[in-house]
């Protein structure tokens, strides 16, 4: 005989209140509602400045050349009046490290505000969403258009949208590639279909990348592809400012008349209008708590504040807040991790400024000939070297080439050199042993290059001198 376990059906939810899926949970396209507010205005201001910087800088001339140009062919990186060479790669690395620590500092302070306000993925996504609103209408119209059968009107609207998307993508790719090849010539070459195969490939590649990422993938890039959303969680603490829903004030949520005494009805300030969900670019409900998909853009704050204003309620039901503040405490601004990041940033920025100011504007590389040594007509031992001298400035310079004083050697070769702006000069020279015996072999030998206009500007480079035993 087998004992049967009794089974009883249990209702897990109220049938009168069916489960409401967010756009992110439901899948499919996310249609956002247009809105206004202070955080939207702040984002537009920041995006406008970034757009001006990105699209405008490439067209600025500086001393007869493009102000910002990464000339990969000549291995020169021009940033306004400064030219950087591969030897200065450490400075580029320092910039990236400083940027990373700056991002860490911002994340500890205010969560993912970089993602919401300055990340290119989110900025271009907002631009593409604006194009959708212009060509297909607001949220309700776009939903109806998706559900409608194909017609001439639908085809025209979709064609206009994708045409503008491609136009924005092409302009973006042109601006980006224009930092690596002169943008004016690039524009002319594209207009006349005379662009090279390599350049054409990169223009098409970045056009496609912008079109796909900002037009089709959107929140999927932030949610599934970007690693920042993953490791940000380990950087949050109970004092980090993140977009939060004040459940103690908002619950229980529910609709009500504007003039009703909702508190007597046992309701909170949230009227469950879902406006915060409808404006979210990633399709989440912030009332469910902080989520991986939240990019900290503040759209839900603007939407909720507008509803609170209409009802006469206090703003801030959805706001930037910390876990401690929501629990009734205070946000601690001066905490060890935040102060530590700030101190490290200050030190690194100071060190970078010093390294940039002290960066040598002369480069000297010494390569010794593969032969061991040779004996000249006077019976002296000499070694052959190849010197590569780089003028890192944007002005022609005159240099003195010689050996560091105090060595038992003599330099045979040109001593005065003239180099044009950014010129690389290779000079073959020989070094003769004048005072014997050398003592040991190989022995160090040091070269120097001095700017004749400014004697304090000098650089040294060393090599070795080889002589036969006993010399």
- Domain coordinates in residue numbering, the chain: 31-84+119-217, 362-465
Residue 366 and residue 352: Cα distance in Å, rounded? 27
Question: Which neighbouring-strand residues pair with 366?
Answer: 387
Q: What is the SS3 string spanning 275-336?
A: HHHHCCCCCCCHHHCCCCCCCCCCHHHHHHHHHHHHHCCCCCCEEEECHHHHCCCCCCCCCH
Mean pLDDT to the nearest integer, 374-395: 91
Q: Is the pLDDT of residue 11 over 70?
A: no
Nearest to 384 by CA among 375, 392, 393: 375
Residue 309 and residue 318: Cα distance in Å, rounded? 13
Q: Is there a contact between 34 and 133 (Cβ–Cβ < 8 Å)?
A: yes
Mean pLDDT to the nearest integer, 89-112: 91
Question: How does residue 260 score in pLDDT terms, banded at 50, 70 and 90?
Answer: confident
Residue 146 and residue 332: Cα distance in Å, rounded? 48
Q: What pLDDT was estimated at residue 258?
A: 82
Higher local confidence (pLDDT), 439 or 327? 327
Q: Is the pLDDT of residue 2 over 80?
A: no
Residue 252 and residue 29: Cα distance in Å, rounded? 30
> Residue 147 class from Cβ within 10 Å (0-12 exposed, 13-18 middle, 19+ buried)?
exposed
Which CATH number applies to 362-465: 2.60.40.10, 3.30.70.1290, 3.40.960.10, 1.20.1370.20? 2.60.40.10
Residue 58 and residue 130: Cα distance in Å, rounded? 25
Q: What pLDDT was estimated at residue 1?
A: 44
Residue 63 and residue 10: Cα distance in Å, rounded? 79
């Amino acid at each position: 005989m087998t004992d049967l376990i009794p089974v009883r059906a249990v209702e897990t939810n109220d049938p009168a209140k069916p489960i409401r899926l967010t756009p992110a949970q439901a899948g499919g396209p996310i249609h956002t509602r247009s809105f206004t507010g202070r955080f939207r205005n702040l984002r537009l201001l920041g995006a406008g400045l970034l757009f001006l910087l990105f699209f405008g800088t490439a067209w600025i001339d500086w001393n007869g050349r493009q102000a910002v140009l990464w000339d990969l062919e000549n291995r020169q990186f021009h940033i306004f009046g400064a030219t950087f060479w591969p030897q200065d790669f450490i400075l580029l690395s320092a910039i990236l490290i400083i940027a990373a620590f700056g991002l860490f500092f911002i994340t500890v302070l205010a969560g993912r505000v970089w993602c919401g306000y300055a990340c290119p993925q989110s900025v271009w996504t907002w631009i593409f969403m604006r194009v959708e609103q212009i060509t297909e209408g607001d949220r309700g119209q776009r939903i109806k258009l998706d559900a409608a059968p194909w017609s001439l009107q639908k085809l025209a609207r979709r064609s206009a949208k994708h045409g503008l998307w491609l136009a924005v993508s092409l302009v973006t790719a042109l601006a980006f590639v224009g930092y690596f090849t002169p943008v004016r010539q690039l524009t002319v070459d594209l207009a006349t279909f005379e662009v090279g195969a390599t350049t054409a490939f990169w223009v098409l590649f970045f056009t496609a990348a912008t079109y796909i990422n900002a037009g089709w993938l959107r929140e999927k890039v932030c949610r599934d592809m970007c690693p920042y959303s993953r490791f940000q969680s380990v950087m949050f603490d109970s004092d980090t400012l993140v977009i939060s829903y004040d459940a103690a004030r908002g619950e229980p949520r529910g609709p009500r008349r504007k003039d009703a005494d909702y508190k007597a009805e046992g309701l909170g300030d949230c009227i469950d209008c879902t406006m915060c969900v409808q404006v979210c670019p990633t399709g989440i409900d912030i009332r469910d708590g902080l989520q991986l998909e939240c990019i900290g853009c503040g759209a839900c704050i603007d939407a909720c504040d507008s509803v609170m204003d209409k009802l006469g309620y206090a703003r801030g039901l959805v706001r930037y807040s910390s876990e401690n503040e929501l629990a009734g405490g205070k946000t601690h601004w001066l905490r060890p991790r935040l102060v530590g990041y700030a101190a490290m940033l200050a030190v690194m920025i100071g060190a970078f400024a010093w390294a940039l100011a002290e960066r040598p504007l002369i480069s000297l590389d010494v390569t010794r000939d593969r032969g061991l040594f040779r004996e000249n007509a006077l019976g002296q031992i000499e070694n052959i070297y190849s010197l590569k001298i780089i003028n890192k400035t944007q002005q022609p310079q005159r240099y003195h080439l010689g050996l560091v004083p105090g060595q038992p050697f003599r330099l045979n070769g040109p001593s005065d050199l003239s180099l044009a702006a950014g010129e690389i000069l290779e000079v073959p020279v020989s070094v003769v042993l004048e005072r014997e015996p050398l003592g040991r072999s190989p022995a160090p030998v040091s070269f120097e290059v001095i700017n004749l206009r400014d004697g304090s500007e000098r650089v040294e480079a060393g090599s070795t001198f080889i002589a036969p035993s006993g010399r």
